[in-house]
Every structure is written in structure tokens, then in C-alpha cells.
Chain A
């Protein structure tokens, strides 16, 4: 049990080369088995983190200042669970979808890179060493570029290239910030940094470090106006990759942002409050409204969902910018809920692509008749995105709105509600096409069960966690309280 933190990262990391060696036939079974094991470990870690103090794990027995320490608290537990569970479901989904979208000689490489990406993302969330964060950030980013580039369309390459440029800039910024911090404090351990930064907080070097690290994280998070890599990347990536990255990658970047804001710098920076209210709040609101508005006018449903993701990223950041426990709880629970909903919706599109070869509005005409089960899944997932009560989306929005009220920012609550209506507009555009347009061909071609079962697992989970909210609320609110407790 005590080695679980390191197993969490090392199992997918080491399985990756094994999968390459095993070759095509065994790639999928091994990968999905690893996915399930990783998900199990992440759940175990979450329950351990919930039951007591943060769990520390010294790599190779070398303790903090010398060696690298892994640290599992509720917040990292939450993120690990999201990555683990979504990863497992997506990998199960992958078999038929990948067989259809990726050429046979590259499939085992695909699975290997997928495992690398999982282990990179997990590593970011689990390590307590800032340089280690950078290393894992690069592992996950490089594998993500490769995954996106495997899309069938030639534009996948340019999309991946653009992401590569932006991601590298972001990564470099983070590294610069880390360097500056190391220069000022002489440590890379997060806990040590937190205790040493206050003494030197009032220097331009630390302020510069703060600026570099937050901007770096904001690029990786794709907050408007640093979002340009995201829509193309999600649109042209293979369906499996869109589902996985939309559900996990941005969440992990948000985690990095939260760690930087709360753990490293805490209240020690005066600029902190300024940056919250004058930078993050307006940016998040622009993202929420702008992302949703642009989504309304998309003709490719994958791209539509990508822009919707930009808006949802706005919600995460908004909860951080409002700066109280309620709103941050909303933000953290939205990480989980959005992973379920958006992951599920991209998987629905995976089913559509599997049968129809693409997911443009034209191709989805009359889908309600041709693929009734798939189309219905889209409706349910869409209702969640809108935030209809009894879906997971409602819970997060409720907390964000109450949080805005607590800060006396009525108009922010108004913006949140208004953006839900724009969500109605873009979801209903798809619904109308699916149910009111005549299909191009009329024969029924429902997706195979191997795709439908994982898809429905996610979609139904988004309903279940909209009704049975207690467990995730407990996790999110303890994480939020821990973060604010750390600040006092």
C-alpha cells in the first residue's frame, strides 16, 4: 500500500515500452488492463487522502531537500481520479475507434503514447517537486502532440504543430519561473518553497517568477486569449484523443495554476488579489461568453464542443478568480463533472465518426433516426453542459453562482446564467439537426456495443453525479477548504 503513489506513475510509464515490444495484437488488451489498474490505484489514493493528512512518499527513501517527494492530498487525489477513471473508460472505448481511425501499423505506438500521456499527467498531479512538475509537463505535452498528429486529416499535423509551439512556450515559461524561484530560495520542494517565499516575496524576481509560471499555466490551460491551439487540436485529433485530452489535459493545467496560486505564493504576494480580480475574472468571463458564442456558429460538432470547452475552462478559472471557498468548490467539482460530460460527448462523436466518417452538422442530419441511441446520449450530455438540474453541470454552476453572490458580484451570477442560455443555443442546434432534418441515407446504422457501453458509462455517470452529489462534493469542498486553510 505504501508504494501506491509511485506505482501510480510508474506502471503506465513502464508499460509504454512493453506495449511497443508486444506489438499490435496485445497492445489494446495490455493497455486497457493497465488503464484499469491505474484507475484502481487512483481511487485508492483518493480514499487514503480523504481519510487523513497528505500522504508523503520519498522517492528511493531520499527525503525532502535532497530527493524528490511525492505528495498526495485531496486535490491531487481528485485529479488522479479524473485522469485514471477517464483514461480507463476511454481506453476501453479505444479498441474499435482506434481500429477505425488509425492505420494498423501505428496502433500499438498509439497505445504506448497514450500510456505515456497518462503517466505524465498523473505525475504532474502527484509530485511535490516543482522541477519534476516541469518534467512531467513535458512528457504529457510531447505525447499529446504525437497523439493529435495521428488524426486522419492532414490538418491534424498543423494543429499538432501549433499546439507544439504554444505548449513549448508555456512549458518554457513555467521552467523560467521555476529557475527564478530556485535562484531566490535554493529549493525545489513545494512545501519548502511555500515557507521560504514570504521572506523574499517583495522582490521583482519572485514577482517575475509568479508571472512566468501563471502565464505558462494559462497557456497550457487555453484561457482566452491564449487559447488558439485548442480548437484545431480537439477538432482534428482522433476521437479517442479528443475525448481523453478534453477530459484531462486542461484539468491538469488548472491544477498547476491552483497549486501555484495557493500553495507556492499564497497570500504572500500583494499582487495576488489584483491578479485575481483584474486579470483572471475578466478573462474567465470573456472565455465563458465568447467561447459559448463562437460555439453557436460552428458547423463541425467536434469544433463546436472544443469551443464549448473554452467556455468551460472559463468556469474553472472563474471559480478561482472569485476567491472564496464556495466558488472554488464549484470550480473543482466542475473539473470532475466536465470531464464526465465532455469526455462522454466526444465519445458520442467518436461513435458518429465510426459510422458516418465525420461529425459535421451535415453528416449528423437525421441522426435521431439513423443512430437513435447515440443521438439520445448526445442530448443527455448536452443537457449536462447546459446545466439542467439533476445533471452534474447544475451542481457546479450552482456553487459558482452562490459563490458569486457571496462576493456580492451579482452581475457575475448573471453572466453565468446567461452563458447557460448560449449553451442551449449551441446544443439545440445539434439536436434540431439530429431530429428535424431528413437523413441523407435512411438505413439505421447504430454504433457497436463496444463503443456504446463506454460512452453511456460516462453519460450516465454525469447524471448519477448530478443526483448523488454527496461524494464528489465532499472531495471538492475538502480540497477547497484545504487550499484556503493553507493560505491562512
Chain B
């Protein structure tokens, strides 16, 4: 049963938050938020317990209920899901602390509703991580879409309503039209939806159909923001920054790329993709998305929008890794889930902190801000370097393995794509840092450092980027079993 605990705990947190906030009111917000954090910590602890269990060679499986004959809601732990769950639950703790600082610093309305849906979304993300079959994954994938909608539209303005429409429109359109039909098709061909090492489709599907099915899956996981289904992500930036940070840099988008990785490894199997050559076009789409969105990021002045396009680009790294269908490609993609999560959440935290402390949203307003917000900008620098992919920060590992993977896949051109994209990311991130440190501060500036509850989490995640570099081998060892035996 222990596998259900980390999925149930965030739900319990949601009920507690809703209960306390709804019945006792805003005056008891310290109790509400404290309980929220405590449950977040307990959830993370449970996930680490599972991790320890997995490294000792235990396996965890649990089947809850058969929704349709032979299609149960079932959970099991495998390395990819373990990694995703660790990332989601770990960053939930820091984000919840950050969110208190941000929401209070901003006097946001409806905090109870916000934190309730926040916890539900985390539960859904962990549910996605531990899904044992496509059906379960689809269920939690949709719960994640719907539970984040109230947060995207938190301000209930016309702008939020429009963004919410695009958000829900694209995510539901892709998941219902493509992902669900891919799932039914898979079920029709193979008679099972269980994630099985080596895949379930080999020998059952005609070679010509493989690229089509792969396309349905890849575009169906609209949360991965592959172009041309990426527009929801920049639009979702109307949400309060903690949402952008945890959900649109970590949980939601990673659920998308996680789905693609998982499908490549456990539904198709790496061999099927490489022998049929069905992955070529996906590499091309991912490569194109990666470059185009980096280029767009260069042109944007709004800090959060720039980070959003950077996220689209970085997600395509992971899709590219999956599309390579080689051992290093998959490892690189999986590692990049963790590395990018830590780096990007730092950047979003900083963007939010700048908004709280200085009320600035545009890059061009950030002249000399480092003198007023030293901690924030230091963390921003660390996060940027990690996203660019330089040692000694975590981001380096993901890019290293992706480079290896493209050579293994005999597509050295993609090494060049990765290089160019890294250069582009230098181009859209470093000018912000340079501006903050080297331009003079305008005279009439009244900015100050963000509240402690904001600054501590962002320093913690910046530190996390360093720690992940050291933990590179640990993650590598965790992921390695799933690609053993594959070319």
C-alpha cells in the first residue's frame, strides 16, 4: 500500500487546506499553510523511502480498481517515475514556502482555493509518475490539466479567462484527440496498456503505422509543448508566479515529456523505433522546436514570457532525447527532467521575487537591480548557468548525455543543434544577468529584496543546481536499468 501514500497525502493536504481555509477563514492561514508544508515534507519523505526501497531491489505494485475490464487504475514504481516523483514532491516543499511569501507579499485573494488546487495538482503529478499503465496515466494527466485550470485563471480577469481558454483548449484538444486515440489504438492492437520493459507493440504493429502512432502520442502529450501545440505555455504565465514555477516549469510540462519518454521506452521499446526508423521525424520536430523557441525567447522583453519560451526549448531537449531512442538519449532526457526542473524553478522564483520586491516584469527595467536584490540575482545567475548547461551545475549532465545520444543515434547533426541552442540560451539569459550587475540603477528606484519566505526557497533551489551536479552519477545509476541491453 505504501505506493498510494504519496499520491493520497497531497489529496489529504488539499482537504485540510480547504477545510481550514473554508471553515476557519483567512485568520488561521498560518495553521493552514503550516499543515500544507508539513504534509509536503511527509510526502517527500515517503517518496524517498520508496526510492531507498527501489535501490535495494524491492518492487512496488498496487492495483486500485478495475475501471474497465482488464484496465485497472494501477501503480508501480520504475526508475523514470521514481525520478519524476522525487522532483515533483521535493520541489513542492520549496514552492509551498515560496508561495506563502509570494501570495502574502502580494495580498492575493482566494488563497485557500489556490492552495487546495495546488495540492490536488501535485497529487496528480505523482499519480502520473507512478502510473502502471497508459489508462492510469491518462486519468491523472487529465486531472492535472483540470486541477491547474483554476490556478491559471486565478485572477479571474478577462486576460485570465482568455489564457484559460487557450490552456484548456490546447491541452484537452491534444490529449483527447491524439493521446486518447493513440491509447485506444494501442489497446486495439496489443490488448494491453501496461508499461512493459521492451515495449508492448513489437511484432503487433505494421512498420508503416509506427510513425503515425508515435505522432499521436508525441503531439497528444500536449503538455510537452512541442510546436505547433506550444501556445498554452506562454499564455499560462498569467498565473501567479508560484504556479508558473512549480507547474509550468516542473509538474505539468514534465508530465508531458515524461509521458513521451515513458511511451518510447515502455510502449514502443527502443528497438522497435530504431529498426523502423520511425523516430527520425520526431527528432526533427523536437530539434526545430528547440531552436525556434530559443530564438523567440531572444526577442521577448517580458521576463516570464522569455522564461516560458526557454522552457519550451528545454522541453524539446527531453523529447529529442526520447526520440533518439538510444541508451544515452533516454538517460540524457530523463536526467534533463531533474536538471531543468531545478534550474528553471530557480529562474521563475527569481522572476516572482523581482515582481514582489521591485514590481518589475520587463527585462529592460532590470538595470542594476542586483545592488538592491543581491540574493535573488545571485540565484538567477546560478540558475541561468545551469540552464545553459555549464559545469559545475546540474544542467551540464543532461546536455552531455544528449550529445552522446545523438552520436549513438548516428545523427551528429543534432550535436550541432544542441550547441547552437546552448549559445542561444546564453543569448537570452546572460544579458539579464549583465544588465542587473553592470548597468547603473535608475535614481528613482524603490526596489528592495523580496520577503524572506521568497528568498530562502530560491537560494535553496540555486544550491540544488550545484548539488545535482554532484549527484549526477546517482541519477545515472537510477535510470540505467531501463536502457540496459538497448543500443
Query: Does A associate with B in a complex?
Result: yes
CA distance A470 to B71 in the complex (A): 11
Tell me if A436 and B153 are in contact (CB < 8 A).
yes
Chain B residues within 8 Å of A466, by CB: 67
Using known A-B contacts A417-B176, A420-B176, A424-B168, determine if residue A469 contacts B67 with beta carbons closer than 8 Å. Answer: yes
Kindly state whether residue B188 has any CB partner on chain A within 8 Å.
yes
Task: Supply 20 A–B pairs (Cβ within 8 Å), ascending by A.
Answer: A383-B146, A388-B142, A389-B67, A389-B135, A398-B68, A401-B181, A402-B188, A405-B184, A405-B185, A413-B181, A413-B184, A414-B177, A417-B181, A421-B177, A428-B165, A435-B153, A435-B156, A436-B156, A436-B161, A469-B68
Task: Tell me the residues in window 137-168 of chain B with beta carbons closer than 8 Å to chain A beta carbons.
Answer: 138-139, 142-143, 146, 153, 156, 158, 160-161, 164-165, 168
Chain B residues within 8 Å of A417, by CB: 176-177, 180-181
Chain A residues within 8 Å of B164, by CB: 432
Kindly state whether residue B1 has any CB partner on chain A within 8 Å.
no
Kindly state whether residue A297 has any CB partner on chain B within 8 Å.
no
| Cβ-defined partner of B172 (8 Å) among A398, A401, A413, A424 | A424
Using known A-B contacts A406-B188, A418-B177, determine if residue A389 contacts B68 with beta carbons closer than 8 Å. Answer: no
Using known A-B contacts A402-B187, A420-B176, A436-B161, determine if residue A414 contacts B181 with beta carbons closer than 8 Å. Answer: yes
Kindly state whether residue A271 has any CB partner on chain B within 8 Å.
no
Using known A-B contacts A388-B146, A417-B176, A417-B177, determine if residue A405 contacts B188 with beta carbons closer than 8 Å. Answer: yes
CA distance A418 to B180 in the complex (A): 11
Please give the distance in Å from B220's CB to the nearest CB on chain A: 11
- CB-CB nearest in chain B for A404: B184
CA distance A336 to B158 in the complex (A): 38
B residues near A (Cβ < 8 Å) are: 65-69, 135, 138-139, 142-143, 146, 153, 156, 158, 160-161, 164-165, 168-169, 172-173, 176-177, 180-181, 184-185, 187-188
CA distance A188 to B172 in the complex (A): 51
Chain A residues within 8 Å of B158, by CB: 436
Please give the distance in Å from A273's CB to the nearest CB on chain B: 23
Task: Tell me the residues in window 377-399 of chain A with beta carbons closer than 8 Å to chain B beta carbons.
Answer: 383, 387-390, 395, 398
Tell me if A389 and B181 are in contact (CB < 8 A).
no
Tell me if A389 and B161 are in contact (CB < 8 A).
no
Please give the distance in Å from B90's CB to the nearest CB on chain A: 27
CA distance A405 to B172 in the complex (A): 21
CA distance A413 to B186 in the complex (A): 14
Tell me if B146 and A395 are in contact (CB < 8 A).
no
Kindly state whether residue A473 has any CB partner on chain B within 8 Å.
yes
Q: Which 10 A-B pairs have the closest CB atoms?
A: A389-B139, A405-B188, A436-B161, A401-B184, A417-B177, A420-B176, A417-B176, A424-B172, A436-B156, A389-B142
Kindly state whether residue A270 has any CB partner on chain B within 8 Å.
no
Task: Tell me the residues in window 147-195 of chain A with beta carbons closer than 8 Å to chain B beta carbons.
Answer: none
Chain B residues within 8 Å of A387, by CB: 176
CA distance A389 to B73 in the complex (A): 11
Q: Mark A411-437, 1 if CB is under 8 A from B, else 0.
A: 001100110110010001000100110
Task: Tell me the residues in window 450-467 of chain A with beta carbons closer than 8 Å to chain B beta carbons.
Answer: 466-467
Chain B residues within 8 Å of A406, by CB: 188
CA distance A398 to B143 in the complex (A): 17
- CB-CB nearest in chain A for B187: A402
Chain A residues within 8 Å of B65, by CB: 467-468
Chain B residues within 8 Å of A421, by CB: 172-173, 176-177
Categorize the interface residue count of chain A.
20 to 34
Main secondary structure on chain B at its contact with chain A? Answer: helix
A residues near B (Cβ < 8 Å) are: 383, 387-390, 395, 398, 401-402, 405-406, 413-414, 417-418, 420-421, 424, 428, 432, 435-436, 466-470, 473
Please give the distance in Å from B250's CB to the nearest CB on chain A: 23
Give 20 new A-B contacts, CB below 8 A, not counting A405-B184, A473-B69: A383-B146, A388-B142, A388-B146, A390-B143, A395-B67, A395-B68, A398-B68, A398-B184, A417-B177, A417-B181, A421-B176, A424-B172, A432-B161, A436-B161, A466-B67, A467-B67, A468-B65, A469-B66, A469-B68, A473-B68
CA distance A466 to B73 in the complex (A): 12
Chain A residues within 8 Å of B161, by CB: 432, 436
CA distance A435 to B184 in the complex (A): 34
CA distance A190 to B177 in the complex (A): 42
CA distance A401 to B138 in the complex (A): 16
Chain A residues within 8 Å of B168, by CB: 424, 428
CA distance A101 to B181 in the complex (A): 45
Chain B residues within 8 Å of A432, by CB: 161, 164-165
Please give the distance in Å from B11's CB to the nearest CB on chain A: 14
Chain B residues within 8 Å of A401, by CB: 180-181, 184
CA distance A90 to B143 in the complex (A): 30
CA distance A470 to B68 in the complex (A): 7
- CB-CB nearest in chain A for B158: A436
CA distance A387 to B164 in the complex (A): 20
Please give the distance in Å from A446's CB to the nearest CB on chain B: 14
Chain B residues within 8 Å of A390, by CB: 67, 139, 143
Tell me if A389 and B138 are in contact (CB < 8 A).
yes
Chain A residues within 8 Å of B181, by CB: 401, 413-414, 417
Chain B residues within 8 Å of A402, by CB: 184, 187-188
CA distance A473 to B143 in the complex (A): 24
- CB-CB nearest in chain A for B140: A389
Chain A residues within 8 Å of B146, by CB: 383, 388
Chain B residues within 8 Å of A435, by CB: 153, 156
- CB-CB nearest in chain A for B136: A389
CA distance A192 to B249 in the complex (A): 68
Chain A residues within 8 Å of B142, by CB: 388-389
Please give the distance in Å from A377's CB to the nearest CB on chain B: 16
Please give the distance in Å from B317's CB to the nearest CB on chain A: 30
Chain B residues within 8 Å of A414, by CB: 177, 181
CA distance A395 to B165 in the complex (A): 26
- CB-CB nearest in chain A for B145: A388
Please give the distance in Å from A345's CB to the nearest CB on chain B: 18
- CB-CB nearest in chain B for A428: B168
Please give the distance in Å from A360's CB to the nearest CB on chain B: 19
Chain B residues within 8 Å of A428, by CB: 165, 168
CA distance A432 to B150 in the complex (A): 11
CA distance A420 to B177 in the complex (A): 9
Please give the distance in Å from B232's CB to the nearest CB on chain A: 14
CA distance A414 to B181 in the complex (A): 8
Please give the distance in Å from A376's CB to the nearest CB on chain B: 11
Please give the distance in Å from A257's CB to the nearest CB on chain B: 26
CA distance A470 to B72 in the complex (A): 11
Please give the distance in Å from A3's CB to the nearest CB on chain B: 36
Please give the distance in Å from A21's CB to the nearest CB on chain B: 49
Please give the distance in Å from B248's CB to the nearest CB on chain A: 20
Chain A residues within 8 Å of B143, by CB: 390
CA distance A87 to B43 in the complex (A): 45
Please give the distance in Å from B4's CB to the nearest CB on chain A: 15
Chain A residues within 8 Å of B188, by CB: 402, 405-406
Chain B residues within 8 Å of A405, by CB: 184-185, 188
CA distance A439 to B39 in the complex (A): 36
CA distance A420 to B146 in the complex (A): 15
- CB-CB nearest in chain A for B64: A467
Please give the distance in Å from B66's CB to the nearest CB on chain A: 7
Please give the distance in Å from A384's CB to the nearest CB on chain B: 13
CA distance A128 to B135 in the complex (A): 41
CA distance A398 to B187 in the complex (A): 11
CA distance A473 to B65 in the complex (A): 14
CA distance A467 to B165 in the complex (A): 28
Please give the distance in Å from B117's CB to the nearest CB on chain A: 13
Chain A residues within 8 Å of B172, by CB: 421, 424
CA distance A66 to B367 in the complex (A): 98
- CB-CB nearest in chain B for A401: B184
- CB-CB nearest in chain A for B188: A405
Please give the distance in Å from B63's CB to the nearest CB on chain A: 14
Please give the distance in Å from A126's CB to the nearest CB on chain B: 29
Chain A residues within 8 Å of B185, by CB: 405
Please give the distance in Å from A466's CB to the nearest CB on chain B: 8
CA distance A413 to B177 in the complex (A): 9
Chain A residues within 8 Å of B153, by CB: 435-436
